[in-house]
């Protein structure tokens, strides 16, 4: 690598840092109150990106191939720009989300809902919006929430989600009380063996809650012995152990009624359980979170992120088309 390139790269890094520092100071001082494009600007941006893609397609047809960094740049723009746009996106609620909501809305006030947080921060962008929306619905509809985690960081994610949910007006009006209306029993090692034991005895797996209070001192769970005392359960899952293990043990063996929220990567695998009636409903990825927010009439991060998500998908589709054009034009071995 030549030293001029290195100097140029370093200059770019320093430039980015300087701009960041200025913007950050602006945030602290209060003269940066966020950025928002007007509808006209938003529309112009969309049209410019579309024209650029069209140009790339034409160039590809002429046999000029683009580099992978161009693809990254476009995907980056498609994700970043919508955050500042004043466009609203219309989408509809899919049947699996509706089913999950229907089963939840049929519950009587005071019903006990078990929520298992089986994910960690890397999957939070997808699952956290679901967690917040679900907890918000439960706490504002007098459903009692029992939280556990089969992943060590799950209960921490739960606390973050609770914090967000408690900020909502409807929830705050109900003044939910820890130990009475909701409880976080924490993490337990043992994967599906934990679920198995919970089938006979919750207390043996969670003798104390997240903050060390003894199980029997928590009014909400004092009389909860096993799954037969749970009216509904919701599993937020990013892998193993997750929805598959819950279905195999808790649903099929102990007859627990269960809905699931999954990362998009594993959602397709869960449709088999949905079809066979082992799950009452399914939220798949950020899309699922947004639809759940729509059906519960609460705008949250899922909805907010959907514009970026849709833009990014359009860019990906555009590049799949461009890539295929390149493939058929230039034979097997030349690549983007």
From candidates 60, 168, 235, 309, binder to another protein by CB under 8 A: 309
268 binds another protein (CB under 8 A): yes
- Integer Cα distance of 305 and 286 in angstroms: 8
Least distance from C-beta 16 to another protein, angstroms? 8
Total count of residues recorded for the chain = 336
Q: Within 10 A of 102 (CB to CB), how many other CB atoms are there?
A: 13
Close Cβ partners of 123 (under 8 Å, ≥ 6 residues apart) = 238, 239, 263
By CB under 8 A, the residues from 96 to 115 that bind another protein are none
Chain Cα centroid distance, residue 23: 28
From candidates 171, 273, 292, 294, binder to another protein by CB under 8 A: 273
- Integer Cα distance of 71 and 74 in angstroms: 5
Q: Within 10 A of 158 (CB to CB), how many other CB atoms are there?
A: 26
Nearer to another protein (CB atom), residue 139 or residue 290: 290
By CB under 8 A, the residues from 125 to 144 that bind another protein are 125-126
Least distance from C-beta 20 to another protein, angstroms? 7
Nearer to another protein (CB atom), residue 139 or residue 279: 279
Residues paired with residue 147 on neighbouring β-strands, in sequence order: 115, 184
Which SS3 state, helix, strand or coil, does residue 143 take? Answer: coil
Q: Is the peptide bond before 61 cis (omega within 30 degrees of 0)?
A: no
Nearer to another protein (CB atom), residue 140 or residue 188: 188
Least distance from C-beta 201 to another protein, angstroms? 10
Nearer to another protein (CB atom), residue 58 or residue 299: 299
235 binds another protein (CB under 8 A): no
By CB under 8 A, the residues from 285 to 304 that bind another protein are 285-287, 301
Least distance from C-beta 47 to another protein, angstroms? 22
By CB under 8 A, the residues from 65 to 94 that bind another protein are 69, 72, 75, 79-80, 83-84
From candidates 266, 279, 283, 326, binder to another protein by CB under 8 A: 266
Nearer to another protein (CB atom), residue 174 or residue 310: 310
From candidates 2, 223, 297, 328, binder to another protein by CB under 8 A: 223
Strands across the sheet containing 144-149: 182-187, 144-149, 112-118, 232-237, 258-262, 281-284
Residue 286 in contact with residue 302, Cβ under 8 Å? yes
Nearer to another protein (CB atom), residue 100 or residue 270: 270
Nearer to another protein (CB atom), residue 139 or residue 224: 224
From candidates 74, 117, 187, 292, binder to another protein by CB under 8 A: 187
Instruction: Check residue 209 and report its DSSP letter.
Output: -
8 binds another protein (CB under 8 A): no
- Integer Cα distance of 221 and 186 in angstroms: 13
From residue 242, how far is each of 95, 109, 231, 250 by CA, in Å?
Answer: 22, 27, 19, 11
From candidates 44, 275, 324, 330, binder to another protein by CB under 8 A: 275
- Integer Cα distance of 255 and 280 in angstroms: 12
Per-residue HEC secondary structure of 294-321 comes to HHCCCCCHHHHHHHHHHHHHHHHHHHHH
Nearer to another protein (CB atom), residue 126 or residue 140: 126
Least distance from C-beta 173 to another protein, angstroms? 26
Interface mask toward another protein for 13-52; x: CB under 8 A:
x--x---x--xx-xxx---xxxxx----------------
């Amino acid at each position: 690598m030549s030293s001029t390139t290195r100097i140029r790269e370093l200059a770019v890094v320093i430039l980015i840092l300087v701009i960041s520092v200025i913007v950050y100071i602006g945030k602290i001082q209060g003269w940066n109150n966020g950025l928002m494009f007007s509808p006209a600007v938003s529309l112009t941006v969309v049209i410019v990106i579309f024209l650029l893609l069209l140009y790339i397609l034409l160039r590809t047809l002429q046999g000029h191939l683009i580099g992978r960094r161009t693809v990254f740049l476009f995907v980056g723009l498609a994700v970043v720009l919508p955050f500042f746009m004043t466009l609203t996106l219309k989408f509809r609620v899919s049947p699996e989300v509706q089913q999950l909501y229907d089963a939840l809305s049929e519950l009587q006030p005071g019903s006990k809902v078990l929520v298992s947080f089986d994910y960690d921060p890397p999957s939070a962008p997808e699952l956290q919006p679901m967690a917040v929306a679900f907890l918000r619905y439960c706490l504002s509809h007098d459903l009692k929430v029992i939280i556990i985690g089969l992943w060590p960081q799950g209960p921490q994610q739960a606390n973050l989600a609770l914090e967000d949910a408690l900020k909502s007006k409807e929830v705050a009006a109900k003044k939910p009380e820890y130990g009475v209306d909701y409880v976080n029993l924490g993490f337990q090692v043992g994967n599906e063996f934990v679920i198995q034991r919970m089938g006979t005895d919750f207390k043996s797996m969670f003798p104390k809650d997240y903050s060390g209070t003894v199980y029997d001192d928590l009014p909400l769970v004092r009389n909860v012995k096993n799954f037969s005392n749970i009216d509904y359960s919701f599993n937020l899952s990013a892998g193993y152990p997750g929805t598959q293990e819950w279905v195999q043990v808790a649903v099929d063996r102990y007859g627990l009624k269960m809905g699931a929220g999954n990362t998009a990567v594993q959602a397709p695998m869960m449709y088999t359980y949905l079809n066979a009636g082992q799950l009452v409903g399914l939220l798949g990825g950020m899309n699922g979170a947004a639809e759940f927010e729509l059906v519960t009439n609460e705008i949250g991060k899922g909805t907010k992120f959907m514009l970026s998500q849709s833009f990014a998908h359009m860019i990906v589709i555009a590049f799949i088309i461009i890539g295929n054009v390149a493939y058929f034009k230039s034979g097997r071995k030349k690549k983007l």
